[in-house]
């Protein structure tokens, strides 16, 4: 299930109108606590800062995220994978 539908179904607050993107585990965004990460499906940048419609990160020519001014590193033991977020809430 994509991140938006999963978040709606499980009552996770959505902070933006950004589009859903396929994020791989080697994307810069993959380790950001603002990412609602849905491996194998489309994920959502849910940071409260930055543009509401566009992802705040920069992408390379291959479509991988490579930097972001709104990046917030996950702490050890933290997860941004949707199924893990629901277990915590």
How much is the pTM?
0.87
Q: What is the pLDDT, as a whole number, of residue 87? A: 64
pLDDT digits (tens, 9 = 90+) for 23-69: 999 999 999 999 999 999 999 999 887 666 789 999 999 999 999 99
Is residue 89 pLDDT above 90, yes or no?
no
Q: What is the pLDDT, as a whole number, of residue 51? A: 67
Domain assignment of residue 59, given as a range: 3-88
The SS3 assignment for 66 reads strand
Is residue 88 pLDDT above 60, yes or no?
no
Q: Which string of b and e fits 27-61 if b means at least 16 CB within 10 Å?
A: bbbbbbebbbbbeeebbbbbbeebeeeebbbebee
Q: Which stretches within 1-89 are classed as H helix?
A: 3-10, 82-88
More confident residue, 85 or 35: 35
Instruction: Quote the number of domains for the chain.
Output: 1
- The pLDDT-based confidence of 1 (bands split at 50, 70, 90) is confident
């Amino acid at each position: 299930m994509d991140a938006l539908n999963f978040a709606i179904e499980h009552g996770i607050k959505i902070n933006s109108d950004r589009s859903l993107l396929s994020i791989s585990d080697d994307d810069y965004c993959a380790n950001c606590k603002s990412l609602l990460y849905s491996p194998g499906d489309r994920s959502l940048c849910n940071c409260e800062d930055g543009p509401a419609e566009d992802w705040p990160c920069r992408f390379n020519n291959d479509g991988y995220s490579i930097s972001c001014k709104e990046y917030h590193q996950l702490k050890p033991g933290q997860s941004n994978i949707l199924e893990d977020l629901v277990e915590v809430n």
